[in-house]
Structures are given as structure tokens and as C-alpha cells.
Structure 1
């Protein structure tokens, strides 16, 4: 990991994954002017999908959610560069990759000081030819073998002692080779002990039930048991 610093900005990046100027790489207009924007997705803000020299990447600006986010959209309290959300997510993704968990590799992260705190951005690899579980389950049911794989991947993440505080079916992807990926590790962290792992699984099950009621996704209790079978088998 390389560092690039100025008095009001810190950038961390993997030079093996980023050939472009690290400073410019966080500016959507830079990618747009080079005709390298290949798509976008809307959540709290816009995630831009871009074509870098070394592959495809996702550029995301950190934004707050909830009621507080309507007042202060994208500024966070600054207590040190290495405590910023972008740096912490960069480290966590590296840790998970080394542990063999299928997550996007972090390309670069940035934190920029402002008068009241800091703002942050992250550039990470885009998982190619993948869709989230919501999109898939709206169209078709999945076989038990796929749920086994999902459970196994969550178990690998838990064995790496990473607490995914927002584990839901929007954050689980399956690519065209039926490989399972876990994404969106903002506000997640390493944690010892065991009890939080049950909470992760409970949150995920609530997510399935929510989308069953909201979008009539193809899912049932037997699918959940298949996921748990994969989780326990790992």
C-alpha cells in the first residue's frame, strides 16, 4: 500500500492495481472526460463504474444514511487519518482478501479534511458479470448448492473475525461462474468472540424475509436451512 499526502488530504492506493493518477482517480469527471465511465448505480449516492488501465472498478463517495444524513450528508468527525472510514475499509478488504474471502480488492482510498471534519471516497475492484441476490431471486429460485456456497463464504468471513454490520441480500453477489461474493464493508470491523456471528446471520435472514414480502422473491425456509448447512460444513 502506497501513501500520498498533502496537508488536507491522504490517499492510500495499490500501485499494482492503479496506473492512473491517484489524485484524479477520485473525480468522476476525470473518468467521464476519458470516456471511461461504464455504468453507475444509485444507493445513498451514485457509485460510478469505471474502466481503469488494469480492469474495472467502482468509485464510491461515503454518505450518511438515516435522519442525520439529511442534515449532514457526507462529513464525518476527524480523529486521525487511520481512523477514517475509507482507510478502515481499505484495510479490511485487504485482510479479507488475504484470508481467502471473495471480496473486491481495494484499489485506492481517500480522506479529505474540511472545516468540520473529513469526507471520504473509495475505489475498489468491480466484480465482473455479477448480480445481487435480490435481482436474481426476483426472477428465479436458487438450488440448495448455491445456498451452501453462500453459507460457506459467510463462514470464511466469520473465521477471519470480520463483523459485517449490514449483511443483507443486496450485499451478496453471484457471478456468471456461480462464485459468491460479499461486498460493502463500510462501518464493518474485525471483532473477537463469537456471539456477533449469530447476529449477522439473523440480520441476513430478516433481509430475505423483507424482500419476500416486498418483492415476492423466490425464497423459502428450506433455502435458509441449505445456507446454514453450508455455513456449518465449512
Structure 2
């Protein structure tokens, strides 16, 4: 399995922002519910127990029922991972410095793909299909927002079967810092130093406190890697 990340067209951002706000509402509710149950009973709620309290909420929130179940499962997983009784509150207000980036999880049955569109419930989102999704079997995934406000759909898919290599030769590779790799046949792959080409511009933007420019430069650096 592998994860594919595809960008969603800008015209769908308003609908995605609204769905993300509903996800944050559900997250905060189950987070608070779990904590109150812990204080009252001295034990944690499982994702199965939480699902009993959120049954039927999909009609009111406009979210798929599988999304609400995925939120509960994610909360329980992260609670165990970080060993905390209560996790952080998710903030939807865009003017807040603590705003949480948009996140809308879903399971396999909640999404369909056809003709360049990803269908989630009643919504259809046009994407840039650079992978040819029709050849993959989708397992699960989520809609995610980056720091610049751009939305993507991340899909966990089964990798298509490939024929086994018939190669008979072997080559040794020595990884390093000055050069990324040195091969046994003498080939040297130099370090492209992606950060250096943006270092000066990034410093200027940070000193000018231009947050929009800083976010854009960080995204370019990460994408170059």
C-alpha cells in the first residue's frame, strides 16, 4: 500500500472549510465526552463506545457516518499514542493564531472516484489526477489543508502489481552528507541543497514578518525535497 496526495481545485475550498468546521465540532465533542467519562467512571471510552453517542449525528453535521467513526477512532489512537487523558481542542476560527488546519477523514465506503471527480456524500470535488486513480483500489484517506489554505485529498491505495525484475547485475551505494550517494561504479550524486536557494529570500521574509510569503517559501522548500 501507498499514499497518494492530489490537489483539489480552488473553487471547492468554501465547502471543504465548512466540512472541516463540522469535523472540529465532532472532535471537540467526543474529546470532552471521553474526558468527562474518565473523571466520572475512572475508565476510558473506546471508539466503539463513542460511536453510540454520535449515532445519527451525520444528518445534522452534513458529514458521512464513516467520517464520524473515523474521528472517534483517531481520537482513541492519538490518546493512547501520547498517553493523555484529553487531547488538544481543534479551533476553526481562521483569525485565531491557534487555528487547526482542515482535516476530514473518511473510510472506503464514504468516497467514490470517477472522471476526475472525488465524490464525498453529496459533494463532488474536482482534482488534478496526476496518478491515474482509476487503476488503484482506494482503502481509506482524508481531505487535508496546508498552511497556505490549499486543500488536498490523501488516499491510501493498493499498489498495482508489477513484474519482478529480471536484472542480474548489482551495484553498491554509499550514502553520505556532502554527496547524497556514491555508487560502486563511480557515479556520484551530489547534494542539491534545496534549502540554500531559498535561504536568503526566507530570511528577508521572516525579518519583514511577511507570514504569507514565509508559508509559501517553506512549502516550496518542502516540495523541492
Larger Rg: 2
Instruction: Return the TM-score normalized by structure 2.
Output: 0.22
Greater relative contact order structure (CA < 8 Å, 6+ sep): 2
Instruction: Return the TM-score normalized by structure 1.
Output: 0.21
**As a proportion of its length, which structure holds more helix?**
2
